[in-house]
Amino acid sequence: MIESNALSGIIEGVIEDVSRRAVPISQLKEELTNAPVLRDAYSALSKKDMSLIAEIKRSSPSKGDLAEISDPISLAKSYQQGGADLISVLTEERRFKGSISDLVSIREAIDLPVLRKDFIVSEFQVFESRILGSDLMLLIVACLPKSQLIDYYQIATELGMNVLVETHTIDESEIALDIGAKIIGVNCRNLKNLEMDKSTFELILPRLPESVVKIAESGISSRSEVQRVAELGANAILVGETLVRSGNPIHTIKDLLNR
């Protein structure tokens, strides 16, 4: 799939964890009848003003532990109160200390659309995301061959979910456009060596057509940085570390969005 690096290590762990809970797709299809009614993530991210995806994030491979977050529901409610447009919930357990239970409980407690932030590498996870109530599902171009990206994107769309297709290079952004992505994320953190390069925003965002919703991911911690990615064409930002470490996420969101 990809050479040995940080990303491949994460994927190996995800595959192992998924194998422990995987059930036949036929069983998942039966469970779809009880899946929650979806919320409109696309509209939440494509309004006139800058949108903000606020992330529940305990840890990361690059920074280690960020915040304990013993009460993720309370944090999510603070995000909503502060003016976030969508909540991102990490469900990858090993490196990010996320959990599926976080996603389920948060979605039940708030009114905003929810993004399942994970490394989707199997058809099982796509169906699982829908059953859990993921309004927006993440697909990372660097994680999958193009054929699988197409398959998973189509399945997710047929199931009613919006899909955030994450890119890190110009080539990846072209693949995202080729598969028909309507929401494209530009992540300035290299998932192979975990280094941050904010020039990635300048390189990719202006090249994306106005017809897609463009999300700037990683490394945004100030109002000036929000203004910069807006100038480059971003419709939304995804912020995690800055919010979980702020001590006052309501104020921080208002400050980032100048509200």
- The CATH number given to whatever domain includes residue 53 is 3.20.20.70
Q: 27 lies in a domain?
A: no
The candidate with the shortest Cα–Cα distance to 69, out of 54, 79, 59, 60, is 59
Q: How many domains does the chain have?
A: 1
Q: 26 lies in a domain?
A: no
> What residues have CB less than 8 Å from 185, skipping those under 6 apart?
138, 164, 165, 166, 167, 214, 215, 216, 217, 238
Max distance between CA atoms of the chain, in angstroms, equals: 49
Residue 211 — φ and ψ, nearest 5°? Answer: -75, -15
Active site residues: 55, 57, 117, 166, 187, 217-218
In this structure, which amino acid lies at residue 143?
C
Rounded to an integer, what distance in angstroms lies between the CA atom of residue 234 and that of residue 228?
9
Q: 34 lies in a domain?
A: no
Contact 54, 87 (CB under 8 A): yes
Tokens 């990683």 -> residue? 218
The candidate with the shortest Cα–Cα distance to 164, out of 113, 232, 128, is 113
pLDDT of residue 3: 38
List pLDDT tens digits, range 98-153.
899 999 999 999 999 999 999 999 999 999 999 999 999 999 999 999 999 999 99
pLDDT of residue 4: 46
Q: 228 lies in a domain?
A: yes
Q: 190 lies in a domain?
A: yes
Q: 30 lies in a domain?
A: no
Bridge partners of 87, per DSSP, are 54, 114
The candidate with the shortest Cα–Cα distance to 93, out of 71, 117, 66, is 117
Rounded to an integer, what distance in angstroms lies between the CA atom of residue 87 and that of residue 210?
24
In a 3-state reduction of DSSP, which class is residue 235?
A: coil
Q: Is the C-alpha dihedral spanning 118, 124, 130, 131 positive or negative?
A: negative
pLDDT of residue 150: 98
- Rounded to the nearest angstrom, the gap between the alpha carbon of residue 55 and the centroid of all alpha carbons in its chain is 8
Domain of residue 112 covers 6-21+41-257
Q: 35 lies in a domain?
A: no
pLDDT tens, per residue, the chain with 259 residues: 333 477 888 898 899 998 999 999 999 999 999 999 999 999 999 988 999 999 998 877 677 777 778 899 999 999 999 999 999 999 988 878 889 999 999 999 999 999 999 999 999 999 999 999 999 999 999 999 999 999 999 999 999 999 999 999 999 999 999 999 999 999 998 877 888 898 999 999 999 999 999 999 988 999 999 999 999 999 999 998 899 888 899 999 999 998 8
In this structure, which amino acid lies at residue 1?
M
In a 3-state reduction of DSSP, which class is residue 196?
A: strand
